[in-house]
Chain A
Amino acid sequence: MKKIISLFLCITLISSLLVGCGSIDSENGDTTNATTGSDQSETKTNMSDQEPVEIRIGFWPAEDRENELVEFEEYKKICEEKYPYITVIPDYYKYDESTFLPMALAGETPTVFSTWFTEPKKLIEGGYVADITEIIQETGYDKKINPGFLEITSKEGRLYGLPYSGYGLGLLMNMNLFREAGLVDSEGMPLYPKTYDELVKTAEIITEKTGKAGMYIATNSNVGGWHFTNLAWNFGAEFEVLEDGKWMSNIDSPEVIESLKFIRSLKYDSNVLLPDALLAWGEWVQNYGTDNVGMVLAAVDAINNPVQQYSMNKDAIAIAPMPEGPGGQYALTGGNIYMFSADATPEQIDACLKFMEITGFSPNISEELKTSWDNTYSTKAENGEVVGPTSIPVWIDEDRVKAENEIIEKYTNVDMKLFNDYFEVTPNILKPEEPVFTQELYATLDDVIQATLASPDSDIEGIVKAADEKFQKDYLDTLN
């Protein structure tokens, strides 16, 4: 009897363990119990000839974005009414390089998700995203998207993603500090720096008049390297060069040395930087959002971060184009892309495109789309977010861009004069990131910046020489 009871207990334990593991549908990567609307889809199948399709939307708003959630629930309803064979499953996923790989390996990637311009190369090479060439050719989207952006999501003539917003780095200004420092004209517009000499003077005035840091120079978590490449390009630097088919590091160059001397002088001669040695993304949002920094390199896509996280007054935000340096004027390109799970079937991708069209992602103009744009921007305005400054247009068709802009204008809640120069200049000075081992280059440059800023007498020549050799040996030589 004892044995039988033991056996029963053991079997229960083992079976509960196996049940806990669950099963994964290899076809679409969904866990079988994840579907809440499966009953509905079955009913709908009877109404349609189409095979039922389930799509998991990864760019669903987060739980705390109440107004957007209501809006997306509405999109889901419209989509499922219009296409009864589609079941939309909300699956909020904020792209993060440290969580993506394990998720992809577990077959848990949402059918469609949003990521950044820096990621496609890695995701395509890893085989984590679907090839969408044929399906996009059928829709004709490929002919209607800015080819420069489309190139970022392509490899060897095949297309893997759809860019939906693009931007270039600019000079973000805190108008509270600009006003306090008297750096505004008679109309209240910022007297922003157009050259690097002017940038030093502006930062000095801010620090002198307000006691706050005039300029933010990032130093850590690859953000330092990312910002610095853009700054150094304007001094004429080029970090990676292709010589006779071989990639060569060019960190050890007079232009890079000049740029480093510039940021060291900001710290020790002008005293306009924050005292911290480790400054990355979160720190700029915090210091800028709490009026502790006058200027920072950032793009227009990030202007809502200080508003949402630190309740910054949206009227205190302004952005100017990157200042012109002795080597030219460039703005590093960035942006966001929709990509599809490698497990997604063509039917699922098609269904995702249909859902995305309802949310407003489409090259076309229709009354339905206009309603959708209207919803999007009115919700943003209700949330107290900045509405008005948009990304660099993804779609080529000017009428399409104009139609959306008309709706944006309706809800614009900031003075666009604070943004106009950025939008006028930036699209003409865009420059893509350095082509190979980009993140590794940024990490190397973080060290270079930290070492440079460590002391007023730092041996910049020695620092760049060592970094150049290390980057060449550890990374570029592996390609040659």
Chain B
Amino acid sequence: MKDLKKGALISFKQNFTSWLFIIPSIILFSFFIWHPLLSGIRYSFFKMNGFKMIEFVGFDNYINVLSSSDFYNALNNTFSYAFWSIIIGYFAPIIIAIFLNELVHFKGVFRLGVYFPNIVPGLAAYLMWKMLMAPGEGGVFNTIIGWFGLGPFMWIQDPRYSIPLIIMTMTWKAFGGAVLIYMASLQSVDQNLYEAVAIDGGGIWTKIRHITIPKIMPLAKMMLILQFINVFKVMQEPLIMTDGGPLNSSMSLLLLTYKYAFKYNKIDMAATVGSLVGILLFVISFIYMKVTKNKEA
């Protein structure tokens, strides 16, 4: 034990300069991430008045949240968001990245085109989609489909389609980033492998199946869990486009947290839902890691 302490001290002394460089980051991290995170967990065990802790209430907030129908509705919706994001948004960047990688001409133009929606500020992008999908005969999409004798539809204002359509707009907005990551991975593939396939008489599908897909598989696995976590935290999009409606059909867990905190001034309930989201994501990530690790083994 003594040796261990001594070892640690020596190691610290050796890395003193490195530690000094890390200090600003540690301060920033503790101030902006760890402190709010731990405060959130602490708040969830207290009765709060605004941001003031009034009294320790143990698990009362958790019991209140878990017995509220709002929570289960939001939980259900959030899983629905995650499901649709995998269906709509997970494969699109992979396909586009492979396609762009195979392009010979205008690669840069297409790459910019794909990434462009990422640059548009979220508020502007989602307001634009909201307007495009306005119900009634005057809505842009309804006008277009009206030329073919269809509609008018309610689009995001129809509780059955609000989540898939919000996911569609999120995918439009964000998939460019994922495309770039996949493309970076594809650029690193040894070209000799493709040439070898060509010599052996393999076509484009053989190349994709036996070289491209195995190459991006580890990255794709990581992107899957990252996408799941990101979509699980969806809030801005339903807030702007539907405010959780219609009939709470697009209310997500974090939008519920936002409403508890800022609309109803219930910081304790907001902190509790936030903590539960954290626990859920931790458990899901843990299971996913375990499962994929076992498969690799």
What residues of chain A have their CB less than 8 Å away from a CB belonging to chain B?
A: 3, 6-7, 9-10, 13-14, 17, 97-98, 101, 104-105, 122, 125-128, 219-222, 274-278, 280, 439-440, 443, 446-447, 450-451, 454, 470, 474, 478
Contact = CB atoms under 8 A, between A and B. Distances in A.
Contacts of B243: 220-221, 278, 280
A446 B263 CA distance: 15
A122 B267 CA distance: 12
Contacts of A474: 68-70
B49 interface: yes
Contacts of B224: none
Nearest to A474: B68
Contact of A98 (B69, B245, B262): B262
Given A126-B265, A275-B136, A450-B247, 11 more contacts: A10-B17, A101-B50, A101-B51, A104-B50, A221-B243, A275-B154, A276-B136, A278-B242, A278-B245, A447-B245, A454-B159
A446 B245 contact: yes
B12 interface: no
A3 B248 CA distance: 59
A105 B20 CA distance: 32
A127 B51 CA distance: 10
Given A277-B157, A439-B264, A10 B20 contact: yes
B134 A277 contact: no
Contacts of B68: 474
A454 B214 CA distance: 48
Contacts of B108: none
Contact of B263 (A9, A10, A439, A454): A439
Interface of B: 17, 20-21, 23-24, 27-28, 49-52, 64, 68-70, 134-137, 152, 154, 157-159, 242-243, 245-248, 258-259, 261-265, 267
B103 to A, nearest CB: 41
B285 to A, nearest CB: 29
Interface of A is mostly: helix
B152 A127 contact: no
Given A17-B24, A97-B263, A125-B49, A277 B152 contact: no
9 contacts: A7-B17, A9-B21, A13-B24, A97-B263, A101-B261, A275-B137, A278-B243, A454-B247, A474-B69
Given A221-B243, A440-B264, A447-B247, A126 B154 contact: no
Nearest to A283: B134
A17 B157 contact: no
A470 B73 CA distance: 13
A123 to B, nearest CB: 9
A470 B71 CA distance: 12
A24 to B, nearest CB: 14
Contact of A274 (B17, B20, B28, B136): B136
Contact of A275 (B50, B52, B152, B265): B152
A128 B267 CA distance: 15
Nearest to B50: A126
Given A6-B17, A125-B49, A126-B265, A14 B242 contact: no
B53 to A, nearest CB: 12
Given A13-B24, A17-B24, A277-B157, A454 B265 contact: no
Nearest to A463: B247
A126 to B, nearest CB: 3
A104 B265 CA distance: 13
B258 to A, nearest CB: 8
Contact of A101 (B134, B158, B265): B265
A10 B69 contact: no
A9 B22 CA distance: 12
A280 B242 CA distance: 10
Given A278-B242, A451-B247, A14 B27 contact: yes
Closest 3 CB pairs of A and B: A126-B50, A275-B136, A10-B20
A444 to B, nearest CB: 10
A222 B245 CA distance: 11
A22 to B, nearest CB: 13
Given A13-B24, A14-B23, A277 B263 contact: no
B135, B242, B247, B261, most chain A CB atoms within 10 A: B247
B23 A276 contact: no
A366 to B, nearest CB: 40
Contacts of A450: 245-247
A474 B28 CA distance: 39
A7 B246 contact: no
Given A14-B27, A126-B265, A277 B154 contact: yes
A342 B17 CA distance: 45
Contacts of B154: 275, 277
A454 B246 contact: yes
A127 B17 CA distance: 46
Contacts of B262: 97-98, 101
A447 B259 CA distance: 15
Contacts of A13: 21, 23-24
Contacts of B265: 101, 122, 126
Contacts of A6: 17, 20-21
B57 to A, nearest CB: 12
A104 B134 CA distance: 37
Nearest to B261: A101
A280 B137 CA distance: 20
Contacts of B20: 6-7, 10
A391 B158 CA distance: 39
Nearest to A96: B262
A277 B52 contact: no
B246 A278 contact: yes
